[in-house]
Copies of this chain bind each other. A is one copy, B any other.
Amino acid sequence: MSRQDTRAKVFTAAVELIAEQGYAATTVDAIAERAGVAKGTVFYNFGSKEGLFSALLDHSIERLAGALAAADTGESGVAALDSVVLGQLRFFEEHGPFARVLLSEMWRTAWQEAVARLRESALGVYAGVLRRAAASGEIRADLDVETAATALFGMVLTVAIERRALYPERPIEQTHQTLVELLNGRIR
């Protein structure tokens, strides 16, 4: 078994347990046990509990940013926004435990540099889409795209977690449809 395989197994076990119990309440013993690995192996690979979590955040944020960037169709219209929202819903559907970890730990000062990277990459995708839509005149040109990007990301993250927790059998497309209708705004 390669070192990469070991790290992947530990990541999976860690994100699941931390999603359930939180970072501080999750012990390295429990992570090692669920990963089917000796405790020493965790320290050999990541140095410390904090090192493990930091690596986990980096790894997952990179994948999230990649998924959002891939979902961005590049259109200058708001269709691209719907697509990115769907991409985020799909990503958190596949990586459900990470959604809870991210929501819980996102604003903790201990992981600020990881969050800074999240802002640049993942939130940057939303900001880019909004900027293009503003440039093409489809939304107000004076919109604060940074705040709006955070609003959209937080909205989708919250809904993705609720869906997994309360309505796991509901198709993502239905949840997506609700969000799009909400954002399509008021009938005038």
Chain A residues in the interface with B (C-beta under 8 A): 20-25, 78, 100, 103-109, 133, 137-140, 143-144, 147-148, 150-159, 161-163, 165, 174-175, 178-179, 181-187
Shortest CB-to-CB span from A91 to chain B, Å, is 17
Q: Which residues of B contact A161 (CB under 8 A)?
A: 107
Q: Which residues of B contact A150 (CB under 8 A)?
A: 158-159, 162
Most buried by B among A108, A158, A181: A158
Shortest CB-to-CB span from A157 to chain B, Å, is 7
Q: Which residues of B contact A148 (CB under 8 A)?
A: 178-179, 181-182
Q: How far is the CA of A143 from the CA of B138 in the complex (A)?
A: 23
Closest 5 CB pairs of A and B: A185-B185, A154-B158, A24-B24, A155-B155, A24-B25
Q: How far is the CA of A175 from the CA of B165 in the complex (A)?
A: 30
Q: How far is the CA of A78 from the CA of B187 in the complex (A)?
A: 10
How many chain copies does the complex carry? Answer: 2
Sample of 9 further A-B pairs with CB below 8 A, known A23-B25, A139-B187, A148-B182: A22-B22, A103-B107, A104-B104, A104-B108, A144-B178, A148-B179, A151-B158, A183-B186, A185-B185
**Cβ A187 vs Cβ B138 within 8 A:** yes
Shortest CB-to-CB span from A57 to chain B, Å, is 15
Q: Which residues of B contact A25 (CB under 8 A)?
A: 23-24
Q: How far is the CA of A138 from the CA of B187 in the complex (A)?
A: 5
**Cβ A23 vs Cβ B22 within 8 A:** yes
Given contacts A23-B22, A103-B104, A185-B184, contact A147 B159 (CB under 8 A): yes
**Cβ A151 vs Cβ B179 within 8 A:** yes
A-B contact pairs, 23 of them (CB 8 A): A21-B24, A22-B22, A22-B104, A24-B25, A100-B107, A103-B106, A107-B165, A138-B186, A139-B186, A143-B178, A143-B182, A144-B178, A147-B178, A147-B179, A148-B178, A150-B162, A151-B156, A151-B182, A154-B157, A155-B158, A183-B186, A184-B185, A185-B186
